[in-house]
Every structure is written in structure tokens, then in C-alpha cells.
Structure 1
Amino acid sequence: MGLRLILMRHAKSSWDDPLSDDFDRVLNARGQSNAAAMGIWLRDKAYLPDEVLVSAAARTRETYEWLSNGMGLCANVEVKDTLYLASDRRIMSHLKQAEGNTVLLIAHNPGVGEFAARFANRAPRHKDFARYPTCATTVFDVAAPTWSEIAFGVNPVVDFVVPRDLDA
């Protein structure tokens, strides 16, 4: 198998503390549940990362904690300050430095949704792909032999799911 990317937007965060800085917001109960369920889905589909890149924001780090519980594994995790509210180009620059065979990247909108749309060779026929809601996850087969050679617009989407799909 070649390279694979699992691209995820963080799970639903809490707005309970109006004085909390955006960077420090944590997940609400639904977000915790959704992230754990997404981890189980990834495990059941055998989409298991060997490298993880996570924004340094509290909600992305917590998303990975709940996700890894569901997956039943803990991979090599790199927490990146520069993935916080990163643009699609910044996400691309991080991925070009990746080393794993299957990389999971957890970040924020609008950058992560824009990256997904640009990275895909064809958008999946799913009503939520364009808006990329919380905990949305796309699995791509990477159309390059190395991460340093990846490009926009050429990568097949293997799977796309949002938490609501897992309830069905």
C-alpha cells in the first residue's frame, strides 16, 4: 500500500465559558462521544495512522485523545502550534514533511475543509463534504510516492464520514 492521509476536523467544542480563549476551548460531551465513535470507525475500517499531526489547540488535542481511545492505539503524535487555524497551504507544508505511511492530521476550519476540497481529485457525493462539519473525516489515497511530492487535485477519496453517518 502507498501513502494514506486521514484528514479530520476537530470534534464539537464547548462554548460554555464565554471568557475562554478560542485556543483553550475543550470538547463538549457530544464532541467527546463523536471523537470516540470516529476512532471506532477508523479501527473497524482498518484506517490506522502511524503518524499523527495535531493542532496545539485544546479541542484538537482532546479530539485525538478520544479518537485514540476508540481506535485502541496511540501513534507517534506531533502537536503543532502552526496547525492552529492553518490555511490549506500551511497544512500542505506540514504534510510534505510527514514520514509515516498513514498520517492522521487534525485541524480546524476553514483551512481543513479547504484543504480537503483542493487535495481531492474528485469531491465525494456527500452533502456535508463542502461544509466540513466538526469531526468530518476524509480518507485519501495519496497519489505520490513520498510526502514531499504530494500535490493538490490528484488524490482519490477512499472514504468520507461525519458523526451523523455513524448513528445510522
Structure 2
Amino acid sequence: MKRLTLLRHAKSDWDDPAQRDFDRGLNGRGKRAAALIGGHLRSGGAVFDAVVASPALRVVETLAQVELGYGRTLGAVWDRRIYLASAVTLLDVVQELPSEATHVLLVGHNPGLEDLALWLVPESDEAPRVALGVKYPTATIAEIVFDGTWRDLAPGAARLTRFVRPRDLDPTLGPDAD
């Protein structure tokens, strides 16, 4: 069984309207949320064989804060294709993952991550899937599992096992307008 954890970058800073989108970092709330998610991953025993992420500054800073909460370096591979990618492009990235990897963390942006999760996981009345269908907030993780190889992953072939928003762990971190 393969396990894919999708992490949307944390809340970014919009203080400088002239700044390039790629160069926007995190705001204070985003840093707190990312560190909290890192601690949640650690306490849940998550161990990643690979981490693939967008090189956008807000993703780099999200992973730095996740690592603080997680308690160790994750050793991300930066893949420019993930920056503002569509679900189709993200699926291509996932299907190219090393076959020996069993649990991978993919860190990127919306709407691509949300679209990918909705595409891979069939609709159901289960609470995590319903929450996913409503909104995929910043610094949220969606964990999916499926049988087969990374190349076999296809729409509707996965099961959502966890959907955790920062506000689920600390109510002061949500809801927000992202």
C-alpha cells in the first residue's frame, strides 16, 4: 500500500503588493500553523520516504516551520513543476516517484492540491471526504492511501484516511478567508 500526504503551504504574507507571487513568504499565523501541523505529523508517527515540494518561498518557509514542529529535517526535493500546478501535472509528478517509496509528502498550492485530492478520492459521506469537498485551507494535510504502484495511481483509486486543518488542532487558527 502507498501513502501520499498532501500539504498545502501555510498562510502567506500579502503586505507587499509589488512582490512577485513566487517570492511571498509566510505571515505569523502561517508560521504557527505550519509548526503545529509538523508536531501533529510527529505525534502521529508519520515517516516520509520522500518529500517533493514547490520551490516558492511560502512553501520553503512552510516546510521549515513543519520541520520545527516535526523535530527533524525532511530533506525536500524542490520541483518547479509543482508551483501553481494543475491536478494533472501533480499526478504526473506523483506517478514519477521512486517505486521503493511507500509514504511521500507532496507540498504545494491550491487549487491544484485540492483538485488532485478530489480527483483521486471518490465522493463519500465520510467526514474527512465531506470536509475536503468544502474547502482545503492553508497548512492543511490530506492523507490518501491506495494499492499498487505510484504509476498506477489514477482518479478515483485512492481512499482519504486523514484530513487535518490547523483549526482542528488549535481553534484560534481558523476559520479564515483564504
Gaps of 5+ in 2: 172-178
Aligned to 1:117: 118
Rounded to whole Å, the distance in 2 between the matches of 1:71 and 1:152 is: 30
Aligned to 1:33: 32
**Aligned counterparts, 1:57-72, within 5 A:** 57-72=56-71
For residue 142 of structure 2, the aligned residue among 135, 138, 144 is: 138
Aligned to 2:175: none
Q: How many residues of Structure 1 are paired with residues of Structure 2 in the alignment?
A: 166
Do the aligned partners of residues 68 and 90 (structure 1) sit closer, same or farther apart at CA in structure 2, a change above 3 Å counting?
same
Deviation at 1:48, TM superposition (A): 2.2
What is the DSSP-based 3-state SS (H/G/I as helix, E as strand, rest coil) of the residue aligned with 1:138? strand
Gaps of 5+ in 1: none
- TM-score normalised by structure 1 residue count: 0.93
Deviations 1:41-70 (A, max 9, x none): 011111221210110110011111111121
Do the aligned partners of residues 22 and 128 (structure 1) sit closer, same or farther apart at CA in structure 2, a change above 3 Å counting?
farther
One-letter amino acid of the counterpart of residue 17, structure 1: D
Checking the alignment, whether the CA contact within 8 Å between 1:122 and 1:156 is kept in structure 2 is no
Aligned to 1:166: 169
- TM-score normalised by structure 2 residue count: 0.88
What is the DSSP-based 3-state SS (H/G/I as helix, E as strand, rest coil) of the residue aligned with 2:6? strand
Rounded to whole Å, the distance in 2 between the matches of 1:10 and 1:36 is: 12
Runs of 4+ in 1 over 6 A off after TM superposition: none
Deviation at 1:163, TM superposition (A): 0.4
Deviations 1:89-144 (A, max 9, x none): 00000001112211000111111110011111345525642321111211111232
Does 2:108 correspond to 1:107? yes
- Provide the aligned C-alpha RMSD in A: 1.4
